[in-house]
Amino acid sequence: MNAGQRIEQALAAALDLPEAAATPPLLRRAMHHAVFPGGARLRPRLTLATAAACGRPDSDLALAAATAIELLHCASLVHDDMPCFDNAALRRGRPSVHAQFGEALALLAGDGLIVLAFEVIARAAARPGQGQRGAQVLAIIAQAVGPGEGIVAGQAWECEAAVDVAHYHRAKTGALFAGAAAAGAAAAGAEPQRWRALGERLGEAYQIADDLADALGEARVTGKPAGQDAALGRPNAVRELGVAGALARLQALTEAAIAAIPDCAGREELEAIIRGQARRLLPAHLGAPALQDSQVA
Amino acid sequence: MNAGQRIEQALAAALDLPEAAATPPLLRRAMHHAVFPGGARLRPRLTLATAAACGRPDSDLALAAATAIELLHCASLVHDDMPCFDNAALRRGRPSVHAQFGEALALLAGDGLIVLAFEVIARAAARPGQGQRGAQVLAIIAQAVGPGEGIVAGQAWECEAAVDVAHYHRAKTGALFAGAAAAGAAAAGAEPQRWRALGERLGEAYQIADDLADALGEARVTGKPAGQDAALGRPNAVRELGVAGALARLQALTEAAIAAIPDCAGREELEAIIRGQARRLLPAHLGAPALQDSQVA
């Protein structure tokens, strides 16, 4: 089973934990709608790739961390789409959760996915000998989504009058990528802090790709309506650097991410995965000029 | 330091974790508004009392569990008050979080408190030798608030056309009381399942007290506007049983809770705490007819 299949299967299993049978039917459907079909699953792939690079390709705790991270990412999208934030009726080419199920169920689906994410970690951490690493993984993930420097903080900076743009992106996007890499390392028993820089660079690269997709009217990467940044007055790298400048920055960040990979057994394979993912981030009609095919495994 | 002081101090410390300095200022204020000043802190008191009855009055993990449970309770109130649910402008006699800070920050304050609750457990579970118990406590608490049979499920039943009232109350109120007792026992190294019945009876008793307060126009217990159940067409024990019947049921549930205390070292002290809390639940002007002073420690 490849990484993508493992992730989809683990997400489905998380939504089907024993107590799922008792879940109110509409809530259950709303949570499923928020998670399937997914996007590129970049963050959980990074967690699994990091754990594998650290010598633990089959770690149950790493798979639980990957699953939790994707559930939390999906929860943040559900809440971010709601009328009091982006008021986005579309997500991944389909109605957003609140557009389909109403605001109350969207709010609860997000809450439910957050709680479920932590339950998934709890179950993996409860296995013999996994308690300590589980607590470490739990702390890393909680901080990556939390109100201090995680996703919740990033969304809340949108409510402040004055915002440092780099800080905003670091919290809203970078923190979960950094946490995804760190959690994979921690689950594998490696020192997690050394792995954060890799995730941070990938988070920045993803942000540029997101800006390109938004500015160029390309919904393939984000699956949401294009032109939102201009409409909502948000910063966008394409407006600042131009298309060529943004593409060059995306390539530079990909190389910086690869340079940030700590010494590990699976360095070459991880490098190939990162180059492959970076290529997938490019808007399709740009023909991947920034990253040559020869660079992609 | 008594239990109430320990809980207030631990809640303040949770809102002041290292990363709190980076929290966007309005979000930080909204989260503080949601937690302070608090209500009766019944659930965390139950967790600490249970851990003490199991012989661990000073357990750091029990205090973390108690803190997490109260943070999650506060988060549920913030989201429950929002316009897409109860649309309640008042909570604990003050503006609700969305009334004071707007919907976006209320949504994020709730999300932030949920994440923070799990981070508090992660920190306690990371201490040497606490990993396994920490994972157990984490799972208990996640299920008590989750989409299967916890608070999120309870709120979501309000969105369904057909609802079993007992099931609804069990999820919305009972599950967190049961989890509070079970988590205290687990943190103390006792078998948690045996402690759930105590919490369930107390949750039912609290529900009756809440119904009495709502029906009798007494905001002391709930701190929210009275008459909401009738206005929103919700079930209420006073409408079903009358005032005297509801009071009798409250007393019977308190006795049932006491009868459900498993064998433990601190049984007598726990019984006294429960009688004291039950008396505090009664609407003030009823003069506590259901529970005599002689019954209260």
Burial string for B41-69 (b: 16+ CB within 10 Å, else e) reads bbbbbbbbbbbbbbebbebebbbbbbbbb
Contact check, Cβ <8 Å, B85/A104 = yes
Predicted pLDDT at B21: 85
Beta bridge pairs of residue A95: A90
Contact check, Cβ <8 Å, B122/A135 = yes
Query: Which residue of B15, B101, B103, B115 to mutate against A (max A Cβ within 10 Å)?
Result: B115
Residue pLDDT, tens place only, B206-251 = 989 988 988 887 655 555 667 777 877 777 888 889 999 999 999 9
Of A274-283, B13-22, B53-62, B202-211, which one has max mean pLDDT?
A: B53-62
Among B49, B29, B121, B37, which Cα is nearest to B74's? Answer: B37
Q: What gap in Å lies between CA B153 and CA B208, rounded to an integer?
A: 20
Cα separations in angstroms, B272 against A65, A79, B248, B249, B277: 43, 44, 19, 19, 9
Strands A90-91 and A94-95 turn out to be: antiparallel
DSSP state of B172: I
**Mean pLDDT of all residues in chain A?**
90
For residue A112, the one-letter residue type is G
Contact check, Cβ <8 Å, A153/B22 = yes
Band of the pLDDT at B286, cuts 50, 70, 90?
low
**Mean pLDDT of all residues in chain B?**
90
Residues of chain A with pLDDT > 90, as a percent, come to 74
Of A181-185, A203-207, B240-244, which one has max mean pLDDT?
A: A181-185
Q: What gap in Å lies between CA B181 and CA B178, rounded to an integer?
A: 5
Q: Work out the burial of residue B100: count CB atoms within 10 Å of its CB; fewer than 13 is exposed, 13-18 middle, 19 or more buried.
A: middle
Among B154, B139, B183, which Cα is nearest to B45's? Answer: B183
Q: Work out the burial of residue A18: count CB atoms within 10 Å of its CB; fewer than 13 is exposed, 13-18 middle, 19 or more buried.
A: exposed
| List of chain B residues whose C-beta atoms are within 8 Å of the C-beta of residue A118 | 118, 138, 142
| Cis status of the peptide bond prior to A37, with omega within 30 of 0 | yes
Rg (CA), chain B: 18
| List of chain B residues whose C-beta atoms are within 8 Å of the C-beta of residue A28 | 147
Burial string for B172-202 (b: 16+ CB within 10 Å, else e) reads bbbbbbbbbbbbbbbbbbbebebbbbbbbbb
Nearest by CB to B26, which of A23, A102, A160?
A: A160
Q: What gap in Å lies between CA B254 and CA B258, rounded to an integer?
A: 6
Q: What gap in Å lies between CA A251 and CA A289, rounded to an integer?
A: 10
The continuous run of DSSP H or E covering A95 comes out as: strand A94-95
Lowest-confidence pick of A68-77, B14-23, B228-237: B228-237
Q: What gap in Å lies between CA A113 and CA A72, rounded to an integer?
A: 6
Query: Which residue of B23, B137, B151 to mutate against A (max A Cβ within 10 Å)?
Result: B23
Q: What gap in Å lies between CA B235 and CA A206, rounded to an integer?
A: 49
For residue B297, the one-letter residue type is A
**How remote is the C-alpha of A138 from its chain's centroid?**
16
Q: Which residue has the higher pLDDT, A156 or A164?
A: A156
**Residue B56 CB contacts under 8 Å (≥ 6 apart), including other chains:** B62, B187, B188, B189
Whole-structure pTM value: 0.93
Q: What gap in Å lies between CA A241 and CA A250, rounded to an integer?
A: 11
Closest chain B residue to the Cα of A123, Cα to Cα: B139
In this structure, are residues B125 and B135 in contact, taking their beta carbons and an 8 Å threshold? yes
Domains and CATH numbers, chain A: 3-295 (1.10.600.10)
**Is the pLDDT reported for residue A292 higher than 80?**
no
Query: Which residue of A159, A160, A170 to mutate against B (max B Cβ within 10 Å)?
Result: A159
Predicted pLDDT at B111: 98
Q: Measured between CA atoms, how close is A27 to chain B, in angstroms?
A: 6
Average pLDDT over residues A243-249: 93
Contact check, Cβ <8 Å, A125/B104 = no
Rg (CA), chain A: 18
Contact check, Cβ <8 Å, B115/A142 = yes
B253 C-beta neighbours (distance < 10 Å), count:
21
Q: Measured between CA atoms, how close is B146 to chain A, in angstroms?
A: 6
